[in-house]
């Protein structure tokens, strides 16, 4: 992977940082965050400014350019990728490591006295602005809004902002109408005594109106804002897509409605002027509710005295707790996804030994099998198809320059997912098409033990996901190993594959408590730089748990796997598993057989069905018997859950004990 040569681009940026045409006063540093005006994680090509200036195109990172330096902050998922994609003009700042300075501390250390630090006010969240501005001000510097994005001034071939057609979702997918969602939102507004609510996150706008789009690749969202009053609804959106008959009917734009449900459609670019008008009309004590992660520009449009800011909006929380229709849709989506992956892995087992399958071919084949399933829309993220050393690049995406051929001598990691109209999937499986080494099996089994520890966990209502993160790491920690990413993220329902406000990660303590109906991923891993990567990921549903006791009547929760794809038993060192863990794997594989087997049969995919049956054979675990004989404990999936003990005596004879 060749790094992008950025010398000329940085020279041009430094020139416009001083140009009176673009800045009122010269800025000595310019911040380039990775998001868009809606603080999205995954963004449209026209918003990939940080990738343009640096070459690093991972989903998370912040670039800062001064007159003398250029630095990039990113997390452990992207250390290797960023190092490969950036040239030597850039310094990589590895977030989460002890010696890595914060952006504020670094700026204070390199800037001359009384410097101005510029940033596009639409791209930086209000909470980050507040924190950074305070730190810089205390050191004698100023954070200043730069109205025109300076990257855009030097990006001569910047793509146009997408404005693609919308998809309407009926009640069979959403379970609740958009009008009912507006009523519920206004009820929350009344509880907090606020008159207005500003919706800035793209997935929140899509969820609220039961609409989907394709303005951002892999994420079924569209560029829009919404402002909800107690008696008004304003939707800020561009293009003629609002003229489509199905959209007009869905939103009842041509119907005679009660005034409080009449949607006013306004230009996307008029959001600031409209918010300023709202702010000017407010009486003392009247409030406007915004997320504290809304952009600084949008937040500043409302005078400070009238703002009501919260880390998570009521839409964000309601969206995370799936209703019965959404949950059922997610189950259907994961069954279809498992069918596609059974087809893929059966195909790979036959083709990989021929030496003709590359990472890109395997990724394309996965998409081909998924696209054959009902209600398939697109992938949910760029497929991570990685073999051997590429697997150690946590968010690797194969490109022609890095495209390795799969072989029988390397571990293959596939992290992939899809958007179906009834749900979003995200699954990782790590496979070996030859004979894995003892060390590879050992590492895989530690990761599996962590995966099981989270999936089988029972925890009290009110528990936050970050408290479960160490469950996934314990087996790795026991052997001095670890991984540099979170263990799980929320998953949307035909929405963003990464969704707040819940997750399982050591990186945040601001996550909301897990509750029944939330859907998260469970994906511990281990990565050996230059050798291999291992990750096992299921999407799981939070469900109530039955327990012997009920402390203070607070109830308990656990997880139910929605992903039903076999975990390769060839990679497991069974002797490192407890009997309880063995039983978990066998029970999980039994469910894969029953549920996915039936669907493979229904779809007439008989060869993939035979692969599934082979891959879900029960684990057999050897034990040292109390009479000094080796025992093999076997769980028969097809007959019963009883154990059969086989003793191996000193002569090598096997006898039933």
Q: Using the predicted structure, report yes or no on whether residue 645 has a pLDDT greater than 80.
A: no
Distance CA 43, CA 45 (A): 7
The reported pLDDT for the residue numbered 2 is 87
Beta strand ranges found along 292-410 (DSSP E): 307-310, 376-379, 384-387
- Provide the 8-state DSSP code for 618: P
The 10 Å CB-count burial string (b at 16+, else e) for 569-584 is bebbbbebbeeebbbb
Whether the CB-CB separation of 584 and 535 falls below 8 Å is answered with: no
- List the single range of 274-288, 317-331, 618-632, 639-653 with lowest mean pLDDT: 639-653
The reported pLDDT for the residue numbered 624 is 54
Mean pLDDT of 588-612: 98
Helix (H) or strand (E) holding 427: strand 427-432
Q: How far is the CA of 622 from the CAs of 576, 632, 648, in angstroms? A: 10, 4, 10
Mean pLDDT of 482-491: 96
Number of H helices and number of E strands within the chain? 20, 32
The reported pLDDT for the residue numbered 508 is 73
Whether the CB-CB separation of 320 and 501 falls below 8 Å is answered with: yes
The reported pLDDT for the residue numbered 489 is 96
pLDDT > 90 fraction of the chain, expressed in percent and rounded: 91
> What is the β-pairing status of strands 499-504 and 488-490?
antiparallel
Distance CA 394, CA 486 (A): 12
φ/ψ of residue 102, rounded to 5: -70, 165
- With cut-offs at 50, 70 and 90, classify the pLDDT of residue 630: very low
Helices 324-351 and 606-615: angle between axes, nearest 10 degrees: 90
Instruction: Give the burial class of 401: count Cβ atoms within 10 A of its Cβ; 0-12 exposed, 13-18 middle, 19 or more buried.
Output: exposed
More confident position, 631 or 75: 75
Among residues 467, 474, 417, 436, the alpha carbon closest in space to that of 571 is found at 436
Q: Using the predicted structure, report yes or no on whether residue 648 has a pLDDT greater than 50.
A: no
Q: Dump pLDDT digits (tens) for 193-252.
A: 999 999 999 999 999 999 999 999 999 999 999 999 999 999 999 988 999 999 999 999
The reported pLDDT for the residue numbered 622 is 72
Q: Using the predicted structure, report yes or no on whether residue 278 has a pLDDT greater than 50.
A: yes
The reported pLDDT for the residue numbered 84 is 93
Distance CA 498, CA 486 (A): 12
Please name every residue paired with 71 in a beta bridge, in sequence order, or none if there are none: 64, 91
Distance CA 369, CA 545 (A): 35
Average pLDDT, the chain: 93
Q: Using the predicted structure, report yes or no on whether residue 155 has a pLDDT greater than 80.
A: yes
Instruction: Name the percent of the chain in helix, strand, coil, to the closest 5.
Output: 40, 25, 40
Q: Dump pLDDT digits (tens) for 16-38.
A: 999 999 999 999 999 999 999 99
Whether the CB-CB separation of 471 and 453 falls below 8 Å is answered with: yes
The reported pLDDT for the residue numbered 316 is 97
The reported pLDDT for the residue numbered 613 is 98
Q: Using the predicted structure, report yes or no on whether residue 651 has a pLDDT greater than 60.
A: no
The reported pLDDT for the residue numbered 509 is 67
Is the backbone of residue 462 left (phi > 0), alpha (psi -120 to 50) or beta?
left
Whether the CB-CB separation of 237 and 264 falls below 8 Å is answered with: no
pLDDT > 70 fraction of the chain, expressed in percent and rounded: 94
Q: Dump pLDDT digits (tens) for 515-561.
A: 999 999 999 999 999 999 999 999 999 999 999 999 999 999 999 99
The reported pLDDT for the residue numbered 158 is 96
Mean pLDDT of 140-160: 97
Question: Tokens standing for 441?
Answer: 């099996």
- With cut-offs at 50, 70 and 90, classify the pLDDT of residue 507: confident
Distance CA 201, CA 205 (A): 7
Distance CA 539, CA 519 (A): 7
Question: Tokens standing for 207?
Answer: 């969820």
- List the single range of 151-160, 477-486, 634-643 with lowest mean pLDDT: 634-643
- Provide the 8-state DSSP code for 495: S
- Only one residue has tokens 């990724």, namely 363
Q: Dump pLDDT digits (tens) for 339-371.
A: 999 999 999 999 999 999 999 999 999 999 999
Q: Using the predicted structure, report yes or no on whether residue 266 has a pLDDT greater than 80.
A: yes
Distance CA 280, CA 305 (A): 12
Q: Using the predicted structure, report yes or no on whether residue 121 has a pLDDT greater than 90.
A: yes
The reported pLDDT for the residue numbered 655 is 31
Distance CA 220, CA 216 (A): 7
φ/ψ of residue 116, rounded to 5: -115, 130
- Provide the 8-state DSSP code for 352: G
């Amino acid at each position: 992977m060749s790094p992008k040569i950025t010398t000329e681009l940085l020279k041009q940026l430094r020139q416009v940082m001083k140009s009176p045409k673009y800045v009122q006063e010269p800025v000595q540093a310019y911040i380039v965050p990775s998001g868009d005006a809606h603080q999205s994680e995954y963004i449209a090509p026209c918003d990939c400014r940080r990738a343009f200036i640096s070459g690093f195109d991972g989903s998370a990172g912040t670039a800062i350019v001064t007159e003398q330096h250029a630095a990039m902050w990113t997390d452990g998922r992207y250390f290797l990728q960023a190092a490969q994609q950036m040239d030597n003009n850039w310094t990589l700042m590895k977030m989460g490591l002890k010696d890595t300075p914060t952006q504020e501390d670094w700026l204070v250390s390199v800037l001359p006295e009384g410097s101005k630090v510029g940033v596009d006010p639409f791209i930086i969240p209000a909470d980050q602005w507040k924190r950074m501005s305070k730190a810089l001000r205390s050191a004698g510097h100023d954070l200043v809004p730069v109205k025109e994005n300076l990257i855009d001034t030097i990006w001569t071939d910047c793509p146009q902002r997408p404005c693609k057609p919308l998809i309407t979702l009926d009640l069979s997918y959403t379970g609740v109408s958009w009008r009912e969602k507006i009523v519920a939102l206004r009820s929350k507004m009344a509880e907090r005594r606020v008159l207005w609510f500003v919706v800035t996150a793209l997935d929140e706008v899509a969820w609220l109106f039961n609409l989907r789009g394709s303005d951002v690749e892999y994420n079924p969202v569209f560029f829009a804002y919404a402002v909800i009053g107690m008696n008004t609804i304003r939707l800020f959106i561009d293009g003629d897509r609002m003229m489509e008959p199905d959209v007009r009917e869905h939103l009842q734009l041509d119907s005679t409605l009660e005034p409080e449900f009449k949607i006013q459609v306004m230009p996307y670019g008029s959001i600031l002027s409209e918010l300023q008008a709202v702010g000017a009309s407010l009486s003392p004590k009247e409030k406007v509710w915004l997320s504290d992660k809304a952009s600084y520009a949008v937040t500043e449009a409302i005078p400070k005295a009238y703002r009501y800011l919260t880390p998570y909006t009521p839409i964000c929380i309601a969206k995370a707790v799936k209703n019965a229709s959404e949950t059922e849709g997610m189950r259907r989506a994961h069954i279809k996804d498992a069918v596609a992956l059974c087809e893929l892995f059966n195909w790979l087992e036959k083709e990989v030994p021929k030496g003709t399958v590359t990472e890109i071919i395997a990724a394309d084949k996965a998409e081909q099998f998924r696209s054959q399933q009902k209600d398939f829309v697109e992938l949910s993220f760029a497929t991570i198809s990685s073999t051997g050393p590429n697997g150690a690049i946590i968010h690797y995406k194969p490109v022609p320059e890095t495209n390795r051929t799969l072989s029988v001598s390397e571990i293959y990691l596939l992290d992939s997912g899809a958007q179906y109209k009834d749900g979003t999937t995200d699954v990782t499986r790590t496979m070996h098409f030859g004979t894995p080494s003892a060390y590879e099996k050992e590492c895989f089994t530690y990761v599996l033990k962590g995966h099981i520890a989270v999936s089988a966990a029972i925890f009290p209502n009110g528990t936050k996901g970050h408290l479960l993160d160490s469950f996934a790491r314990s087996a790795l920690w026991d052997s001095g190993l670890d991984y540099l990413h979170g263990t799980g993220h929320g998953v949307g329902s035909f929405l963003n594959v990464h969704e707040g406000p819940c997750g399982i990660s050591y990186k945040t303590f601001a996550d909301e408590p897990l509750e029944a109906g939330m859907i998260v991923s469970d994906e511990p891993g281990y990565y050996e730089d230059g050798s291999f990567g291992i990750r096992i990921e299921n999407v799981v549903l939070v469900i109530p748990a039955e327990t012997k006791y009920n402390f203070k009547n607070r109830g308990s929760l656990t997880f139910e796997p929605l992903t039903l794809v076999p975990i390769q038993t060839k990679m497991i060192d069974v002797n490192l598993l407890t009997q309880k863990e063995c039983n978990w794997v066998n029970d999980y594989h039994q469910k894969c057989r029953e549920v996915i087997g039936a669907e493979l049969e229904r779809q007439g995919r008989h060869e993939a069905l035979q692969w599934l049956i082979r891959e879900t054979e029960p684990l057999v675990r050897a034990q040292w018997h109390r009479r000094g004989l080796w025992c093999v404990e076997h769980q028969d999936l097809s007959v019963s859950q009883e154990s059969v003990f086989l003793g191996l005596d000193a002569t090598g004879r096997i006898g039933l004990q």
